[in-house]
Structure 1
Amino acid sequence: MASVPLDSASVDVAVFSLALMGTDYGAFLTEAARVLRHKGWLWIAEVRSRFTQEPDEEKDVGKANSQHLQPFLKCLARLGFTLQSLDASNKMFVVMVLRKLNVPSGNPSAITWPSLRACMYRKR
């Protein structure tokens, strides 16, 4: 996922559905930024618990869409993405819709991506 056989600026939409599991997930998103056209769309659906700091914070839906996502969203902004919508209403998942509207700022490989927590699954 960090090196797909596609030309730069050749894709309209990139979708990451539970796909940021690698420790080098930033390389996946950097590659998406490379292949997406200007005004292209990036959809990310991920387990909410990956963005919280403490297991108890998973229960607070408001924290998932504000405090803990900010470092992640700032890194995406450095790749040229602008957040269009964020849905953290589901207790298990968060969905982010971003658009590539800007030129990446600086060297994308120099971005320090925040560590994401392991997925937390519970018996229902």
Structure 2
Amino acid sequence: MKRIKSHRHVPRRPIPVPLPDGTADVTKREARYGYFSRLNNSWNRRNSGKTHDALKSNPVEWEYYHTHYRAARASWPTLPYEEMIRWLREREGLVVGDFGCGEAKIAEAVSDRHVVYSFDHVAISDNVTACDIANVPLDDNSLDVVVFSLSLMGANFTDYIREAQSTLKLDRQLHIFESTSRFSDREQFKDGLRLLGFDPFAVEDRWKFTYIWALKEKHVPTGDIELTFQ
């Protein structure tokens, strides 16, 4: 993993998630960043490079998002990252890239049996690399598994899939969890993954989420394809 070993370590302040919940704190944050759904929509519409620059200079926006995300998922009967943890616990010795890791729950749970590289705009701990997941600091053909757990956020999210294709070894695995409500045509999305160099051999419903399991294929990805949600 030459690239990640050379990635410069930058001292950082502790990242608090959840944020303080005093009335004054909450009111101030909502006035500045808007409600959770509005922030979610903003990140989805914006290029990830711009989001990364904004969060690098002001990580409180990221902390606000993940504080609300933690609260929202508390009542969910199915959690995508827990689905991946269960899958990984049945296996050993894989090199895993968690793209858009959030609080890095996957690494926290399975680092005793796998090597897990966790990436997000903001690093919640020293075990996470802060970067734009369209360009992660890993060598090509270095990963066995790439996970996108509700992390295909950004107008250019197709670039994340391209980066997954570059960093995965041949025949290795891509796992995507996304809200089913985001898909306008899952078959069209699968066709797009094929053009990007993957064989999406399994598509399943997991509560309100769509789970896609794909393998990296040998053919060269089509350069001009852009995946879309609704």
Normalization by structure 1: what TM-score?
A: 0.73
**Within-5 A mapping of 1:12-91:** 12-52=144-184, 68-88=185-205, 90=207
Post-superposition offset of 1:113: 2.0
Post-superposition offset of 1:89: 5.1
- Structure 1 counterpart of 2:210, from 91, 94, 102: 94
Contiguous gaps of at least 5 residues in structure 2: 1-132
Q: Which residue identity lines up with residue 210 of structure 2 in the other structure?
A: V
- The DSSP-based 3-state class of the residue aligned with 1:45 is strand
Contiguous gaps of at least 5 residues in structure 1: 53-67, 118-124
Specify the alignment match of 2:220 in structure 1: 104
More strand by share: 1
Post-superposition offset of 1:41: 0.1
Alpha-carbon distance in structure 2 between the residues aligned to 1:12 and 1:26: 20
Change (3 A) 1:105 1:32: closer
Specify the alignment match of 2:227 in structure 1: 113
The runs of at least 4 consecutive aligned structure 1 residues that moved more than 2 Å come to 104-107
Alpha-carbon distance in structure 2 between the residues aligned to 1:41 and 1:104: 16
Normalization by structure 2: what TM-score?
A: 0.41
- The DSSP-based 3-state class of the residue aligned with 1:88 is strand
- Taking every aligned residue pair, what percent have the same amino acid on both sides? 33
More helix by share: 2
Post-superposition offset of 1:84: 2.1
Post-superposition offset of 1:35: 0.3
Specify the alignment match of 1:3 in structure 2: 135
CA RMSD of aligned residues (A): 1.3
Post-superposition offset of 1:33: 0.4
Higher relative contact order structure (alpha carbons within 8 Å, sequence separation ≥ 6): 1
Q: Mean alpha-carbon deviation: is it higher for 1-10 or for 79-88? A: 79-88
